[in-house]
Amino acid sequence: MSDEGYDPRKSKVSDDTMDVWRQEAVTGDLSEVPGIGPAAIKKLAASTDEITNTYQLFGKYLMLKGPDKNGNKVEPLEHNEKFWWFLKNIGITAHRSAIVKAIAEKSATYFRDIYDANLYESEEEEEEEKE
Question: For residue 111, which amino acid is it?
Answer: F
What would the pLDDT profile of 25-63 be if each residue is shown by its tens digit?
999 999 999 999 999 999 999 999 999 999 999 999 999
The per-residue pLDDT for range 80-90, each reduced to its tens digit, is 999 999 999 99
pTM, two decimals, is 0.81
**Per-residue b/e over 31-55, b at no fewer than 16 CB within 10 Å?**
ebbbbbeeebbebbeebeeebebbe
Q: Which of 78, 91, 83 is nearest to 42 (CA)?
A: 91
Domain chopping of the chain, boundaries: 8-130
